[in-house]
A and B are shown apart, each in its own frame.
Chain A
């Protein structure tokens, strides 16, 4: 039983990290607290669902379209958010709340309120290693999440573009002084965030049911993990994602499936009450 918890904890957790990455990057670089993050992921999921269901496009080939849609919407949103005045965090919460409602209603109109799941036939088969069972669905989720996280890690750590993004996260004015185009970095963060959202969407649609209001849970996940790790810390985000993944899998096994969604919310409230500066953030 515990190997099952372990496997699903790691796979779910890695996916949660992927869900949080885009949010954390955009928030860190531009100070935009994007409450519509989950809706964007669900939208990308719907795009994949629609292509898969209507045109029989195979699951893996839905990703480019989902990324394209996410990029288009995010870059439009970036135009909108870049008009906001200080304090950016607060103003962007209000504006993105409106955007989230708009997206929810748009999705309700186009895709109806039905629960939808991208059922990839091979995802239910899997590999047995003695007591350990890994479905192809889990394997895809795990592999794709880890590859994307790994690539982003390399970008952030080992290229100057990544160093400039990190510099902007740490101190925007000092970054501008070092010759970094801060508004350009904001655009870049939205673009990378959009790619991450576009990749997370179809995966989300293959593990969770898609419905217009489903985005709230993804937003909650992203916020919880980001607060846990602090912005600009990919390793922290991975740890946060895994802990949340384990907690959810554990709760499902011990308490039953209906408790799963509560875990994230409880974790968020506990975090905010105990360590609002983030668990991994050092005391100043």
Chain B
């Protein structure tokens, strides 16, 4: 039974098709990488799934409900959370409060802080390695710390599906390795993951499957090694050499 299902999902900006007839599904517990060159439509796909933008046509199903025209906070309540390409913390709030707000509004609302909120927020900060920064205003964290805070905040809403948008862009090899471990630990908590990763440094190592887009169209899906050998994918990433074109012609 698939957790997320996309049916002929399309998005048009002006005259330009950002996404065209995408059919895809993700099963519970999977880690799926979303790859493709710049402008392939990766972030647009995330924006449609999280209802930040409206689809031009096609449908989205999540946990057996059609969610195509939900509002952003409604889709979040149903169990989809995401991080942004550029980190977006609540800059003037303490790191701990950032996570606590997400925990309370993503789950059971109550007016005053309870000790269980603080405990679970601390656990998440521990998970992403920010426990020692809990009193720091989120705006004062470094870039990689802010990305990890984004992740903790997204997890605090207790999602079933988590969409990660370029979490490791600009990370050092060591930091990427830490992120790989972190993603695996997140999966162990029972979260299904969908990961945008332009440079493939994360998704090739953790993904069960890849979905490759180019110019808004699906060019391949399947096991990572297969997808990366796919001619279309290679061409999209590397371009085609002149002699290849003449051979195929």
Interface residues, chain A, with chain B CB atoms under 8 Å away: 158-161, 163-164, 166-167, 170-171, 173-182, 232
Contact B82 A166 (CB under 8 A): no
> A164 to chain B: which residues have CB within 8 Å?
101, 105
Contact A163 B97 (CB under 8 A): yes
Shortest beta-carbon distance from B95 to chain A in Å: 13
Q: Given A160-B101, A160-B113, do A174 and B73 touch, yes or no (CB 8 Å)?
A: no
Query: Chain A: which residue is nearest B111 at the CB level?
Result: A159
Shortest beta-carbon distance from B149 to chain A in Å: 11
Q: What are some 24 contacts across the A-B interface (CB < 8 A)? A: A158-B113, A160-B100, A160-B111, A160-B113, A163-B100, A167-B90, A167-B101, A170-B91, A170-B93, A171-B88, A173-B72, A173-B88, A174-B84, A174-B90, A176-B71, A177-B102, A177-B154, A178-B102, A178-B156, A179-B77, A179-B105, A179-B107, A180-B105, A181-B71
> B92 to chain A: which residues have CB within 8 Å?
166, 170, 232
CA distance A167 to B157 in the complex (A): 15
Q: Given A177-B72, A177-B154, do A160 and B104 touch, yes or no (CB 8 Å)?
A: yes
> A163 to chain B: which residues have CB within 8 Å?
93, 97, 100-101, 104
Q: How many A-B pairs fall under 8 Å by CB?
A: 82
B207 beta carbon closer than 8 Å to chain A = no
Shortest beta-carbon distance from A182 to chain B in Å: 7
Taking a contact as CB atoms closer than 8 A, the residue among B72, B109, B154 that contacts A176 in the complex is B72
CA distance A175 to B157 in the complex (A): 12
B52 beta carbon closer than 8 Å to chain A = yes
CA distance A130 to B153 in the complex (A): 57
Contact A179 B90 (CB under 8 A): no
Contact A167 B106 (CB under 8 A): no
Taking a contact as CB atoms closer than 8 A, the residue among A159, A166, A176 that contacts B90 in the complex is A166
Taking a contact as CB atoms closer than 8 A, the residue among A160, A173, A232 that contacts B109 in the complex is A160
Contact A177 B101 (CB under 8 A): no
The 6 A-B pairs of least Cβ separation, nearest first, read A179-B106, A179-B105, A178-B102, A176-B72, A174-B88, A170-B90
Interface string of B133-168 (1 = CB under 8 A from A): 000000000000000000001101100000000000
Instruction: Name, among A158, A159, A175, the residue most crowded by chain B CB atoms within 10 Å (CB to CB).
Output: A175
CA distance A158 to B73 in the complex (A): 23
> B89 to chain A: which residues have CB within 8 Å?
171, 174
CA distance A176 to B112 in the complex (A): 20
Query: Chain A: which residue is nearest B107 at the CB level?
Result: A179
Query: Chain B: which residue is nearest A163 at the CB level?
Result: B101
CA distance A181 to B110 in the complex (A): 14
